[in-house]
Structure 1
Amino acid sequence: MPEIEEVLPKYLQISGYIRDLIHRGELAPGAEVPSERELAASWKVARPTAAKALNTLRQQGLVESRRGSGTYVTDTRAPARMRESRRYGARYAEHESVTIVSAEIVAGPEEVTAALDLPHGAPVIARKRLVTTDSGIAEISTSWFPGEFATAAQLLLVTRRIPGGVAEYVERTTGAEVAYARERVGARLASAQERRLLGVARPAAVLVYHLTLHAADHTALQFDELVYPSGHWTFQQEYSLRA
């Protein structure tokens, strides 16, 4: 077991160590994670510190607790569509056409600045894309970044696709490395702009997918919002139900 370092809080060092085991495959999906008591003993910390480390991993979606059983590694494999194209913003399906309609610095909306942990109204970079299929516009996608990234990552403000993908470009130019992602999926009524772009009548329900990319120190590097109209299959996943 590594020695505790003083650079990061102890609970972050513990959660980071376990996260690395998961990412390397040494703790596979379904594997049991050491308990609070075991972590406290092996790392020589108090139980609340061990509990906070496990809670950090839960918030990152890497582990889940089962009542009366323990804590286990979750299956963090993304649905096929997300795994192949969305997670790092690099690729789309062959039948999809992508148009970047705007790339600019704007005052950050409340939801965006909250996701990026910035003051309300702080400058952010917004890259908006339309994804079109044979049946019409299938997706409105917006990627948001801290405004300070504009100095090093100037291509974020250009309305053309970035070779290798946006997230990889941000890592390369800013030196910030993506460590984990947080995903949320929900539904709401389309805004006036979304109805216009999607060509749907009012009111119209849309599926909304949020993806936030974080560095190891929990700094938010990128916040994506993907909006889908009804009638379009968006996610696909195939998995075994056998033990």
Structure 2
Amino acid sequence: MAGKEPPNYQRVVDDLRRRILSGELAPGDKLPTEKELQQRWGFSTTIVKHALTLLRSEGLIEGRRGSGNYVRDRTRLVRRAHSRDMRKRIGSTSPFTRDSEAAGRRPSWEAHSEKIPATQHTAERLGIQPGEPVMFTRYRYLADGVPIQLAYSYEPLAVTGGTQVEYPEQGPVIGVVARMDFIGVAIDRFVEEVTTRPAMPEEAEALRLDRRGGRWVIAVERTYYAGQTAVETADIVFPGDRYRLVYEVPVDPWSSPDEPDMP
């Protein structure tokens, strides 16, 4: 028995997806207009619009106001958690710079720092009292001019206040680990909690997310520790289609069950 014919909108989706994934339509290419797709397939405006909406939700195309639909560049930056904090001091590059350059992209970022009192939530994450002063830094990272990451960082001024690295973007070294090393604070671990959620309106605007496509983000809550002291906590937001997170976790060495435990 012959298979059931797919819905009309799915036929349009499958055709355009195939052409995009095969490279026939390359990143940056403009798709046929809605009118041209209607004429090619003989389908209604509603069917064509639905097909394009599905392709946007898959992250394959993006709409540009007043211009049409274009094939998206699906190259993702790779964030390798196990090597992102290599200890480098003077002249070091940030982990984001390394991620971007590894992908052949030009990195840039915007940052603003200010001293604020810790909120209850921030204080709990840092293990300090609410109201204690922290350095709050808001970041927006771009690759080839495209927003690709947001970060909101909080550092207790009891650790960095009065030092050369008090303001994260104005000191002699870059990156949390290198900056803390510079003032003799040895970070020995970080903890990350990863979730996905819909983008908040301000995040969607800052990241230039397509309103007609998917607006989900990867949210990472990260805290750095030196011993039992939390020295920085941050909320990091990635568009799910622009970044790939990679974790490598060591496993305790294996020992034979026949081998006695060493005293």
Give the TM interval when normalised to the shorter protein. Answer: 0.5 to 0.7
Equivalent pair of 1:153/1:169 in contact (CA under 8 Å): no
Q: Which runs of 5+ in 1 are unaligned?
A: 1-78
Q: CA RMSD in A?
A: 3.2
- Residue 214 (structure 1) aligns with: 225
Equivalent pair of 1:141/1:224 in contact (CA under 8 Å): yes
**Which one has more relative contact order, counting CA pairs under 8 Å at least 6 apart?**
2
Equivalent pair of 2:139/2:151 in contact (CA under 8 Å): yes
Q: How much does 1:161 deviate?
A: 7.2
Q: Give the alignment partner of residue 90 of structure 1, picking from 94, 100, 104.
A: 94
Q: CA 1:238–1:184 in 2, change beyond 3 Å: closer, same or farther?
A: closer
SS of the equivalent of 2:202 reads helix
Equivalent pair of 1:183/1:211 in contact (CA under 8 Å): yes
Q: How much does 1:102 deviate?
A: 0.5
- Residue 184 (structure 1) aligns with: 193
Equivalent pair of 1:96/1:131 in contact (CA under 8 Å): no
Q: Could you give the per-residue CA deviations for residues 85-114 of structure 1, whole angstroms, max 9, x where no partner exists?
A: 357783322125132320111232433221
Structure 2 CA distance for aligned equivalents of residues 196 and 153 of structure 1: 35
Equivalent pair of 1:181/1:214 in contact (CA under 8 Å): yes
Q: Could you give the per-residue CA deviations for residues 184-237 of structure 1, whole angstroms, max 9, x where no partner exists?
A: 111233334322211234993211112211122x11111122101232132136
- Per the normalisation by structure 1, the TM-score is 0.55
Q: How much does 1:126 deviate?
A: 1.6
Structure 2 CA distance for aligned equivalents of residues 151 and 80 of structure 1: 30
Q: Give the alignment partner of residue 127 of structure 2, picking from 117, 122, 130.
A: 117
User: Does residue 169 of structure 1 match 2:209?
Assistant: no
Equivalent pair of 1:140/1:228 in contact (CA under 8 Å): yes
Question: Which residue identity lines up with residue 233 of structure 1 in the other structure?
Answer: Y
Structure with the bigger percentage of helix: 1
Structure 2 CA distance for aligned equivalents of residues 162 and 197 of structure 1: 28
- Indicate the percent of aligned positions where both proteins have the same amino acid: 18
Structure 1 CA distance for aligned equivalents of residues 221 and 174 of structure 2: 21
SS of the equivalent of 1:149 reads helix
Q: How much does 1:238 deviate?
A: 8.0
Q: Could you give the per-residue CA deviations for residues 14-47 of structure 1, whole angstroms, max 9, x where no partner exists?
A: xxxxxxxxxxxxxxxxxxxxxxxxxxxxxxxxxx
Q: CA 1:96–1:179 in 2, change beyond 3 Å: closer, same or farther?
A: same
- Per the normalisation by structure 2, the TM-score is 0.51
SS of the equivalent of 1:224 reads strand
